[in-house]
């Protein structure tokens, strides 16, 4: 039980990868709180985890007061938060950048960038006061090199990468460290719909040297490691977990030349 007596808060943790993280932390002895915009999702989560050490709140991360309220209730109930996981996020509708709608751009920035900062500040200031805490931000591999059609998403997530460094440099002296993870394609969460179609699984798998999408437990495994004392010295960094996709081109120049295509 690696997280006995530890308190973990996961934004957007009622479904997808966030819910898988909640299960993984509970299995390791932690008490886990989550929030979701949807009361229905929260009721479902409470029903599924009845009898376990969980708290669940309907709250939107873009609403500062909502998040103050949530933090106040967790500290009242459990007296501290050891780990904050900024997991909640949205992806914009896939569109070429010249056609991106203003409202889709604004929404991605509001949720992924502004909302995540609000939560970081609301929880971070309390962690600074308690003189301990670990913040883990969910970014994306695409925030490093970009991804056609996802500009609002990757811009908002790229902002979180520098937020990770900045907050680490500001808060570490107060005992609060900050890291981020940048996954490639995960076989779960927001890709649930896509992975029902084999053509998408094949396409996304071909984009990674390792030849497949990430398993959800590979992502939760890294998050648990980063939350553990063994990873304490990793700070301010964004850890890429993408099967080798970063910097990989589907057909490297070497293969092109070796296949005699350059003649
Ligand atoms: N699935 C992937 O392949 C992948 C890859 C890289 C990064 N990520 C990141 O991982 C995180 C989790 O993604 P997922 O795949 O589980 O997606 P998901 O859509 O299944 O889950 C996202 C969660 O965030 C919540 N959320 C969104 N906006 C919110 C708001 N304003 N307030 C509160 N909650 C809100 C949603 O309700 C949902 O519970 C996201 O930040 C995503 O960008 C996912």
Across 1-17, b (16+ Cβ under 10 Å) vs e yields eebeebbbbbbbbbbbb
Mean pLDDT (the chain) is 96
- Higher pLDDT, residue 15 or 253: 15
Q: Once rounded to an integer, what is the mean pLDDT over residues 13-17?
A: 97
Tell whether ligand 1 has an atom less than 6 A from the beta carbon of residue 241: no
At residue 254 the predicted structure's pLDDT band, cuts being 50, 70 and 90, is confident
Query: What separation in Å is there between the alpha carbon of 261 and the centre of ligand 1?
Result: 42
**Lowest-pLDDT choice from 16-20, 151-155, 200-204:** 200-204
Query: What separation in Å is there between the alpha carbon of 260 and the centre of ligand 1?
Result: 44
Digit-coded pLDDT (tens) for 231-243? 999 999 999 999 9
Tell whether ligand 1 has an atom less than 6 A from the beta carbon of residue 16: yes
Query: What separation in Å is there between the alpha carbon of 138 and the centre of ligand 1?
Result: 9
Decide if pLDDT at 134 tops 90.
yes
Q: What residues act catalytically?
A: 153
Digit-coded pLDDT (tens) for 71-103? 999 999 999 999 999 999 999 999 999 999 999
Which of 22, 136, 190, 193 to probe ligand 1 with, by most ligand atoms within 8 A of CB?
190
Nearest protein Cα to ligand 1, atom 21: 16
Residue 259 pLDDT = 87
54-58 and 238-241 as β-strands: parallel, antiparallel, unpaired?
unpaired
At residue 246 the predicted structure's pLDDT band, cuts being 50, 70 and 90, is confident
Query: What separation in Å is there between the alpha carbon of 13 and the centre of ligand 1?
Result: 8
Ligand 1: nearest atom to the Cα of 141: 6
Tell whether ligand 1 has an atom less than 6 A from the beta carbon of residue 152: no
Ligand 1: nearest atom to the Cα of 157: 43
Ligand 1: nearest atom to the Cα of 185: 3
Distance CA 144, CA 246 (A): 8
In the CATH scheme, what is the code of domain 7-258? Answer: 3.40.50.720
Tell whether ligand 1 has an atom less than 6 A from the beta carbon of residue 111: yes
Digit-coded pLDDT (tens) for 170-218? 999 999 999 999 999 999 999 999 899 999 999 999 889 999 999 999 9
Residue 250 pLDDT = 67
Across 75-108, b (16+ Cβ under 10 Å) vs e yields beebeebbbbbbbbbbbbeebeeeebeeebbebb
Distance CA 123, CA 129 (A): 10
At residue 118 the predicted structure's pLDDT band, cuts being 50, 70 and 90, is very high
Helices (H), the chain: 16-27, 39-48, 64-78, 102-108, 116-130, 142-145, 151-171, 198-206, 216-227, 253-258
At residue 262 the predicted structure's pLDDT band, cuts being 50, 70 and 90, is confident
At residue 38 the predicted structure's pLDDT band, cuts being 50, 70 and 90, is very high
Tell whether ligand 1 has an atom less than 6 A from the beta carbon of residue 87: yes
Q: Where are the domains of the chain?
A: 7-258
Query: What separation in Å is there between the alpha carbon of 136 and the centre of ligand 1?
Result: 14
Residue 145 pLDDT = 87
């Amino acid at each position: 039980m690696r997280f006995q007596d530890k308190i973990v808060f996961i934004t957007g943790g009622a479904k997808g990868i966030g819910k898988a993280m909640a299960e993984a932390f509970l299995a390791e002895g932690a008490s886990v709180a989550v929030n979701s915009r949807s009361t229905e999702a929260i009721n479902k989560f409470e029903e599924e985890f009845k009898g376990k050490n969980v708290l669940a709140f309907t709250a939107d991360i873009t609403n500062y007061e909502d998040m103050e309220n949530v933090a106040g209730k967790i500290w009242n109930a459990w007296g501290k938060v050891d780990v904050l996981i900024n997991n909640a996020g949205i992806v914009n509708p896939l569109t070429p950048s010249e056609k991106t709608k203003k409202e889709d751009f604004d929404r991605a920035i509001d949720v992924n960038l502004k909302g995540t900062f609000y939560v970081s500040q609301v929880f971070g200031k309390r962690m600074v006061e308690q003189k301990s805490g670990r913040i883990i931000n969910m970014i994306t591999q695409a925030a490093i090199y970009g991804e056609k059609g996802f500009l609002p998403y990757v811009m908002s997530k790229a902002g979180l990468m520098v937020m990770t460094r900045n907050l680490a440099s500001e808060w570490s002296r107060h005992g609060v460290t900050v890291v981020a993870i940048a996954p490639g394609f995960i076989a779960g969460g927001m890709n649930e719909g896509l992975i029902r179609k084999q053509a998408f699984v094949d396409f996304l798998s071909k984009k990674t040297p390792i030849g497949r999408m990430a398993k959800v437990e590979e992502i939760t495994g890294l998050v648990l490691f980063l939350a553990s004392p063994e990873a304490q010295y990793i700070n301010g960094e964004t850890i890429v977990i993408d099967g080798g996709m970063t910097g990989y081109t589907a057909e490297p120049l070497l293969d092109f030349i070796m296949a005699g295509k350059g003649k």
